[in-house]
A and B are shown apart, each in its own frame.
Chain A
Amino acid sequence: MKDYLNGFKKGIPICLGYISVSFTFGIMVVNSGLPVWMALFISMTNLTSSGQFAGTNLILAGAGYFEITLATFIINIRYMLMSLSLSQKIDKNTKTRDKLIFSFGITDEVFAVASTEENNVNTPYMYGLVTMPYIGWSLGTLLGAIASNLLPDSLSGAMGIALYGMFIAIIIPASKKSRNVLFIIIISVITTCALKYLPILRNISPGFRIIIATLIGAGVGAYLFPEHSENGGEENATN
């Protein structure tokens, strides 16, 4: 119970961030002409930002099943890296049944919080951690879908930065503690920009862009700064 509550508490900030992001998703879906329940259905079954935004846009564009499925899958391949990384972080006695359930809730932010815990994480912690983000993502979508016509553009426009603010709040303190992490962040961003703006390379889809940038950033980092500790950047602070 203590571990569940610990995870639960750490999920609250994620939940608040999600409400603002999924709120904008709900607005978008209903403004595009889909019913409120559809917005909620998408969020409750997908629980992901970029994947479901892209998939929903393709549904709205009338794309075929194959294209929708492939585009969503490519954007979501990054979760395989996160899931593999977490497989090293979770308690060895974790039951398969529990893994099947809580892995549904591995989002970028859930992963970021779980993987930067000092010690290994167990089953109650994982259930606790995914609880509030799931509620927040669903609730925010529902509220946005219902309120789609009530909110001024100025506010819903400003909310677009919420998710990125959370990401910044995770990577900046970590790069303050470890120059290696800062270096990896810089490499990843340079790679992403190169893939986004350079001729030919810019044809690569956003999903692949993130995968390639991650492989290069983390790959170069691990080559230059291999760690012998259990933890991430934390213990490897260079000064």
Chain B
Amino acid sequence: MLPINKAIIAVLLMCLVTYLPRMIPITLFKHEIKSTYIKSFLNYVPYAVLASLTFPDVFTSTRYIASAIVGTIFALYLAWKEQSLVTVAIGAIAMVYIVEYFL
């Protein structure tokens, strides 16, 4: 483990390289993009990012793969029924908890 004063510097460096990618494009890019392709691309980015963040990592997000699979299926079901973000998240946690209770 890094000594605490070095850890503080490391955290500040992490802060910087987290903030700059968030700040620079939105602050410097002022024009409206005309290209239909680029516009469509940027519109599709959130779905592509969230999908690749979620799958397949969600299956290893809990203590057992079995509970994660059941939790994911339940989350997909709740999302399909268009429940709110919190309902889906808490529903998935509850399902994982229940499954793990029986494992």
Residues of A within 8 A of B (CB): 12-14, 16-17, 20, 32-35, 38, 41-42, 45-48, 50-52, 55, 58-63, 65, 68-69, 72-73, 76-88, 90, 92, 96, 99-100, 103-104, 106, 108-109, 111-112, 115-116, 153-155, 157-176, 180-181, 184-189, 191-193, 196, 209-210, 213-214, 216-219, 221-223, 225-228, 231-233
Contacts and interface: CB of A to CB of B under 8 A. Distances in A.
Given A51-B14, A161-B93, A171 B54 contact: yes
Contacts of B71: 158, 161, 165
Contact of B2 (A62, A154, A161, A223): A62
Contacts of B19: 103-104
A233 B44 contact: yes
Contacts of A81: 42, 45, 49
Given A80-B21, A161-B92, A88 B1 contact: no
Contacts of A216: 48
A223 B80 CA distance: 27
Contacts of A176: 80, 82
Q: Which 8 pairs of residues, A with B, have the shortest CB-CB distance?
A: A217-B48, A172-B79, A165-B92, A169-B88, A213-B52, A165-B89, A222-B41, A83-B25
A71 B68 CA distance: 27
At the interface, is chain B mostly helix, strand, loop or mixed?
helix
A34 to B, nearest CB: 7
A191 to B, nearest CB: 7
B86 A17 contact: yes
Contacts of A227: 36, 39-40, 43
Interface residues of B, number: 80
A99 to B, nearest CB: 5
A171 B50 contact: yes
B96 A161 contact: yes
A96 B7 CA distance: 32
Contact of A84 (B42, B76, B83, B101): B42
B46 A158 contact: no
